[in-house]
Amino acid sequence: MHKIKCKNCGVEYTYEEEKLIFRDDDSYECLCCGNTLISWNGSVIPTKFKLLKKPIADENIDK
Ligand SMILES: [Zn+2]
């Protein structure tokens, strides 16, 4: 199992890798902000994306 973090909004996903018998060219967008999370072009592709809990909002930031 692998982990990836959205660079834009910070939510984390887990995913697994799958080997295909053909090449695939695609990408997966963050469900929260639409940012492209990961893109691939080859026969090993990420799959079974699972959204982990959104990190707690920055409550510690005081101005
Ligand atoms: Zn995001």
Residue 62 CA to ligand 1 center (angstroms) comes to 24
Q: What is the pTM of this model?
A: 0.78
Q: Which amino acid is at 30?
A: C
What pLDDT shows up at residue 63? 52
Residue 12 CB contacts under 8 Å (≥ 6 apart), including other chains? 3, 4, 5, 6, 51, 52, 53, 55
Residue 19 CA to ligand 1 center (angstroms) comes to 26
Decide: 37 and 29 in contact? Cβ < 8 Å.
Answer: yes
What pLDDT shows up at residue 58? 59
**Beta-carbon neighbours within 5 Å of ion ligand 1:** 6, 8-9, 30, 32-33, 35
Q: How would you write the pLDDT of the chain (63 residues) with one tens digit per residue?
A: 999 999 999 999 999 999 999 999 999 999 999 999 999 999 999 999 999 977 666 555 555
Residue 34 CB contacts under 8 Å (≥ 6 apart), including other chains? none
